[in-house]
Structure 1
Amino acid sequence: MAAATVEFEDLEAFLRVAKYTIVKNTDMNVEMKEEAMDICITAVEKYPNDMEKCTQVPRDDSQMTMIKDQMDKKFGAPWHVVVGKGFGYEVTYEVRNILYLYVGGRTAVLLWKM
């Protein structure tokens, strides 16, 4: 079986689509979803190549700190955040308080309240 190759045209098409934010799963109301998306997009764009900042104990202005702190302030605590590439999830969350999206095509953000 031959390995699949990506044609240049397909890669170009993917990169055009990848600029958009793709919401994979949510049950948030529209206003909360839009605010959460703005917060997540801002954090990922600020640190596009440094996901380690969101897995360590935050001591500075990292993605996780930005997303979690802003969501805690706007919608009450406790919010939980995972930022990464290529992961699945199964979490317990409050109804109408979960968002799973891709920013820039490859960076996934999972945001939920428990």
Structure 2
Amino acid sequence: MAEQQFEDMEAFLRVAKYTLVKFTDMHVEMKEEAMDICITAVEKYPNDAEKCTQMIKDQMDKKFGAPWHVVVGKGFSYEITYEVRNLLYIYVGGRTAVLLWKM
């Protein structure tokens, strides 16, 4: 049984190298730019969620106008109010979740 779980985890980590979009209602162009910003930040600061979050927020505020809100982490739940067409929830690298929204 332990060997099967390990094999499943290895398969998961191979697939998890790709970004997984859990939910978004953004327009395609905005989604692609936001994903690029998020992926770059997570790769630049893999062990510092605070710096990662600040980088994403600063770039989104500049590019799409303030106020953007960001949560980066490996385990959280959420209940938010957001402006329609301004929500992105993704997993980067299979383990790090990024929740990005505008109010």
Structure 1-normalised TM-score? 0.84
| Structure 1: 5+ residue stretches without partners | 55-61
Specify which of 47, 52, 74 is matched with residue 85 of structure 1: 74
State the AA in 2 paired with 1:77. A
Which SS does the other structure have where 2:88 is aligned? Answer: strand
Confirm whether residue 40 of structure 1 aligns to residue 29 of structure 2.
no
Specify which of 31, 53, 57 is matched with residue 68 of structure 1: 57
Write 1 or 2 for the structure with the bigger share of helix.
Answer: 2
Q: How many residues align?
A: 102
**Alpha-carbon distance between aligned partners in 2 of 1:13 and 1:88, rounded to the nearest angstrom:** 26
Instruction: Please list every run of at least 4 consecutive aligned residues from structure 1 whose deviation after the TM superposition is greater than 3 angstroms.
Output: none
Question: If you compute each CA radius of gyration, which structure gives the higher value, 1 or 2?
Answer: 1
**Alpha-carbon distance between aligned partners in 2 of 1:64 and 1:7, rounded to the nearest angstrom:** 32
**Alpha-carbon distance between aligned partners in 2 of 1:50 and 1:39, rounded to the nearest angstrom:** 16
Which SS does the other structure have where 2:61 is aligned? Answer: helix
| Structure 2: 5+ residue stretches without partners | none
Q: Which moved more, 1:4-13 or 1:66-75?
A: 4-13
Post-superposition Cα deviations, 1:19-74, rounded to whole Å, max 9, x if no partner, equal: 010000100000000000000000000111222xx1xxxxxxx2122100110111
Percent identical: 82
Which SS does the other structure have where 1:83 is aligned? Answer: strand
**Alpha-carbon distance between aligned partners in 2 of 1:64 and 1:11, rounded to the nearest angstrom:** 27
How is 1:9-24 mapped onto 2 (pairs within 5 angstroms)?
9-24=7-22
Deviation at 1:7, TM superposition (A): 2.9
**Alpha-carbon distance between aligned partners in 1 of 2:89 and 2:5, rounded to the nearest angstrom:** 29
**Alpha-carbon distance between aligned partners in 1 of 2:77 and 2:6, rounded to the nearest angstrom:** 28
